[in-house]
Structure 1
Amino acid sequence: MAKKDQTPPFPDGQAPGKGKLKLIIIIAVAFLLAVGLSVGGTWFFLSKNAKPAESTEHAEAAVPGKKQAVYEILAPAFVVNFNQSGRQRYLQVAVALMGRDQAQMDALREQMPLVRNQLVMLFSSQNFDSLVTPVGKEMLRQQATSSIQELAKKATGQLTVEQVLFTNFVLQ
């Protein structure tokens, strides 16, 4: 009877719960180490990228030859319609002009009816199917930029508009 009360020895010499406890502790330590490395790595890379951005801001402001951008927002937004396969389609575009010289932008503002007319004609001559793609939108923006630059060169004698930007673009 005394032999039945004795527990048989385990082959590895450990009690039955100690192996599982060690495994749980090792998994918990590995998890905490992974979380710590993840947080530390994220902090390192974010703080590393933040410093050069600040220095480039100061470097752009320190460059004497490059003026700060001046924006002229053309309000109201342009709305043109298309007739595609018997179905009426619409395009709404909000446009901003970017230049570097405020005096030249003011001179161009006097020619705003010509600028708006040029853009309306350009937008209404487009194919709806091409404007659905990002490439088509970029091509339209580049066409608008070259068209307005040509008009501004005639009006002011200088390259007044650096870029035409679309601040809102809706197709329906």
Structure 2
Amino acid sequence: MAENNAPAAAPAKKGKLKLIILVTLVVVLAIALSVAGTLWFLGGGLPGMGEDPAGQNDVAVETFTPSAYLEIEKALVTTVQSEGRQRYAQAYVALGATNAQALSAAQLHMPLIKSQLVMVLGNSDFTELQTPEGRRALVESMLTTVNQVLEQEGEPGVDQVLLRNFVVQ
């Protein structure tokens, strides 16, 4: 009788092992199909499909160029006219550019740039400088002025003028 029980146990273990392997394969296949379906529906396509084997896609790759900044160390301070009354304007300014040569040129010509920026600030209207639109217009005219100075000196222009601190009273 002992001999009859031993052969019966071996086929039961083989059946369980086959069942475990089959369930594992089904789970792995389901995971793979869900990942592939997700990639497909998100528009990325499937990896390795639809790609140009020679790598001759017509997509242009843009490289990111970070901006560099040059702070004008001293504040630009000037008087501003307002209805016959004398007011003051103070601005701490920084110049930004992606071209390092433009910033080094701005550093070289800083006395001329500061002089022109003080003139722009002094010619501004006090009531306009109190509004966000007026400050944006001031920044635009400062940018134009800085680029005119740099162009006059044969140098590349800067991309932006930033107000780091601005006070009118």
Do they fold alike, i.e. is TM over 0.5?
Answer: yes
Task: Give the count of matched residue pairs.
Answer: 109
Q: Give secondary structure in 1 for the equivalent of 2:156.
A: coil
Q: Provide structure 2 residue ranges, at least 5 long, that are not aligned to the other structure.
A: 1-60
Q: Give secondary structure in 1 for the equivalent of 2:113.
A: helix
Shift of 1:114: 0.8
In structure 2, how many angstroms separate the alpha carbons of the residues matched to 1:101 and 1:158? 8
Shift of 1:152: 1.5
Q: 1:93 aligns with which of 85, 91, 94?
A: 91
Runs of 4+ in 1 over 4 A off after TM superposition: none
Q: Provide structure 1 residue ranges, at least 5 long, that are not aligned to the other structure.
A: 1-62
Cα RMSD between the aligned structures?
Answer: 1.7
Shift of 1:86: 4.1
Q: Is the 8 A contact 1:108 1:156 kept in 2?
A: no
Which structure is higher in helix share?
1
Query: Which residue number corresponds to residue 168 of structure 1?
Result: 165
In structure 1, how many angstroms separate the alpha carbons of the residues matched to 2:153 and 2:162? 20
Q: Give secondary structure in 1 for the equivalent of 2:70.
A: strand
Sequence identity percentage: 32
Deviations 1:66-124 (A, max 9, x none): 32111000010111112423432111100000011223311221111110011011000
Residue identity in the other structure for 2:108:
E
In structure 2, how many angstroms separate the alpha carbons of the residues matched to 1:148 and 1:83? 23
The reply to whether residue 132 of structure 1 matches residue 139 of structure 2 is: no
Residue identity in the other structure for 2:167:
V
Q: 2:116 aligns with which of 118, 137, 143?
A: 118
TM-score normalised to structure 2 length: 0.59
Deviations 1:110-146 (A, max 9, x none): 1111100110110000111111111111111111111
Shift of 1:64: 5.9
